[in-house]
Copies of this chain bind each other. A is one copy, B any other.
Amino acid sequence: MRERFVEWRPRIDDAIEDLVPRVVEETYLGEFFGEATYQYQAEAIQAALADPLWDLLDRGGKRWRAILLLVIVEALGEDPEEHLSFACIPEILHNGTIIVDDVEDGARKRRGREALHQVFGTDIALNAGNAMYFIPLKVIDRNADVLSDSQRLQAYEMLTHELNRTHLGQGMDIYWHNQKAVTVNEQRYYEMCACKTGCLARIVARLAAIVTDQPDEVEHDLAAYAEEMSIAFQIGDDILDIEHTLDQAGEFGKEFGNDIREGKKTLMVIYTAQHAPAEQVARLEEILWAEDNTDEEIIEAIDIMQSVDALEYARERARELAASARGHLDDLELEPEAESDLREFTRFVIEREA
């Protein structure tokens, strides 16, 4: 990550702290959420919202959604410093989805520690995660002095559209996960990625365009860039999981092959299901569906995928998507340095090693 992005990270956290402070007081509650009819209780909201939110954020995360928004703003010729509060929107949304996803999956770990619902209880964690879906919407309202009525309405309609599709994507992913047979086709896999991962990236891009008052075509091109980059990122992530498995297999004490253990229907699995002989496909489905897997089964599953060159196919598709994402930038008039960063991101998402 470039030096200046690293410098932005604490600034982004400061901006998030302006929205949800680490120490909650009643004056903040009245100011941010509107006056109480009777009386708020700061310590309850501290425990129910601020503590879980900061526990998760302080564990790490690159804040790349916020950074991407700031780079796009810069590419559009505006000052990123003035748009820090908008950069918090996709970042808080993203961390909210992490908490909710972990409850949905019954996950035990997150960023190297216990999942939030394990630490705080499902009730507190889930309510905090859901609050993090609505706090970002408040940011639009709070910026009525810098955004016109029309910009705020555009932002709300955009967020409504993208957050609805996020839930469609998650629904498709869960549905496939709950089935043994691999029935998904490639187009639907891309759609799931476009909805589940892509919509948050589209929020990043479209919000940057809306708050800087761009024409519709610019917003559209930036959204398409962000969406395709996200799909490439998702495929890249799945390839990385297999590559790590191949590197680590046999090393003492290391758990590997997480995606296979979880039974994830990745692009490689889908491709294999369509190109390998029926009995190999059946065996792959069996391994993916099993409650537990031996290390040998993990290797066997990868061998089946390798037998039809599924990794190579996925890598090729990710490269094509990344190239197509870059193509959406071609017609835009962007600041050269920031544009070069935007292009660099599309390479990074598939070439990275961790």
The 8 Å CB contact of A178, one of B105, B124, B141, B185, is B124
For residue A122, CB closer than 8 A to chain B, the reply is yes
Residue A212 lies at the interface, judged by CB distance under 8 Å to chain B:
no
Asked if A188 contacts B133 (CB within 8 A), the reply is: no
Q: Please give, as numbers and ranges, the residues of chain B lying within 8 Å of A194 by CB-CB distance.
A: 36-38
Contacts of A105 in B (CB 8 A): 123
Contact residues in B for A327 (Cβ distance below 8 Å): none
Chain B: which residue is nearest A166 at the CB level? B134
Which residues of the other chain, B, contact A126 by a CB distance below 8 angstroms? Answer: 100, 103-104, 126
Q: How far is the CA of A184 from the CA of B44 in the complex (A)?
A: 10
Complex formed: what's the CA distance from A171 to B100 in Å? 16
Q: State whether A134 touches B164 (Cβ < 8 A).
A: yes
State A44–B179 Cα separation when bound (angstroms): 11
How many chain A residues touch B (CB < 8 A): the figure is 66
Q: Is A48 an interface residue (CB 8 A)?
A: yes
Q: Which of B36, B40, B191 contacts A36 (CB 8 A)?
A: B191
The reply to whether A167 and B134 contact each other, CB–CB distance below 8 Å, is yes
State the oligomeric state as a number of copies.
Answer: 2
Which residues 247-272 in A have Cβ within 8 Å of B in the complex? Answer: none
Known A34-B161, A161-B34; contact A44-B131, beta-carbon cutoff 8 A: no
Instruction: Report the Cα distance A307→B25, complex, angstroms.
Output: 36
A214 within 8 A of B: no
Complex CA distance for A163 and B161, rounded to whole angstroms: 17
**Contact partners of A191 in chain B: CB under 8 A:** 36-41
Do A188 and B40 touch across chains, with their CB atoms under 8 A apart? yes
- Give the complex CA separation of A103 and B99 in angstroms: 13
From B47, B150, B157, B198, contact of A141 by CB (8 A) = B157
Q: B121 and A178: CB pair below 8 A?
A: yes
Contact A41 B172 (CB under 8 A): yes
Give A136 Cβ to nearest chain B Cβ, in Å: 9
Q: How far is the CA of A174 from the CA of B3 in the complex (A)?
A: 43
Q: Tell whether, in the assembled complex, residue B153 and residue A127 are in contact, meaning their CB atoms are under 8 Å apart.
A: no
List of B residues within 8 angstroms of A170 by Cβ: 48, 127
Other A-B pairs, 14, CB within 8 Å; known A127-B171, A131-B164: A43-B175, A45-B171, A49-B167, A100-B126, A105-B123, A123-B177, A124-B171, A124-B174, A127-B170, A127-B174, A130-B133, A133-B133, A134-B160, A140-B160
